[in-house]
Amino acid sequence: MSSFFTCLCVKAGYKKKGSDDPSVLASQTYFSVNEVEALYDLFKKLSSSIIDDGLIHKEEFQLALFRNSSKQNLFVDRVFDLFDFKHNGVIEFGEFVRSLSVFHPRAPASDKITFLFRLYDLRQTGYIEREELKDMVLALLSESDLLLSDDMIESIIDKTMMEVDTKGDGMIDLEEWKEFVAKNPSLIKPVTLPDLEDITLAFPSFVMDSNVQD
Taking the domains of the chain in order of start, what are their residue ranges? Answer: 2-106+193-208, 109-189
pLDDT band at 115 (very low <50, low <70, confident <90, very high): very high
DSSP string over 57-81: EHHHHHHHHSTT-----HHHHHHHH
Spatial CA neighbour of 22 closest among 10, 39, 7, 8: 39
Task: Give the mean pLDDT of 136-164.
Answer: 87
How many other C-beta atoms can be found within 10 angstroms of the C-beta atom of residue 144? 12
pLDDT band at 67 (very low <50, low <70, confident <90, very high): low
pLDDT at 4: 39
2-106+193-208: what fold? Recoverin; domain 1 (1.10.238)
Phi/psi-derived region of residue 89, left when phi > 0, alpha when psi is between -120 and 50, beta in every other case: left
Spatial CA neighbour of 95 closest among 149, 46, 49, 129: 46
Q: Is the dihedral of CA 173, 178, 179, 185 positive or negative?
A: positive
Residues 6+ apart with CB under 8 A from 67: 3, 6
pLDDT at 76: 81
How many other C-beta atoms can be found within 10 angstroms of the C-beta atom of residue 176? 19
pLDDT at 63: 84
pTM of this structure:
0.79
Q: Is the pLDDT of residue 104 over 90?
A: yes
109-189: what fold? Recoverin; domain 1 (1.10.238)
pLDDT, tens only, 10-38? 333 445 555 688 999 999 999 999 899 88
pLDDT at 194: 87
Task: Give the mean pLDDT of 136-153.
Answer: 83
Segment (H or E) for 17: none
2-106+193-208 and 109-189: identical CATH topology: yes
pLDDT at 173: 97
Instruction: State the Cα–Cα distance between residues 78 and 54, nearest whole angstrom.
Output: 22
Q: Is the pLDDT of residue 165 over 90?
A: yes
How many other C-beta atoms can be found within 10 angstroms of the C-beta atom of residue 107? 19
Which residue type does 184 have? N
Spatial CA neighbour of 66 closest among 195, 212, 196, 210: 210
Task: Give the mean pLDDT of 71-91.
Answer: 86
- Between vectors from CA 44 to CA 188 and to CA 95, what angle results, nearest 5°? 45
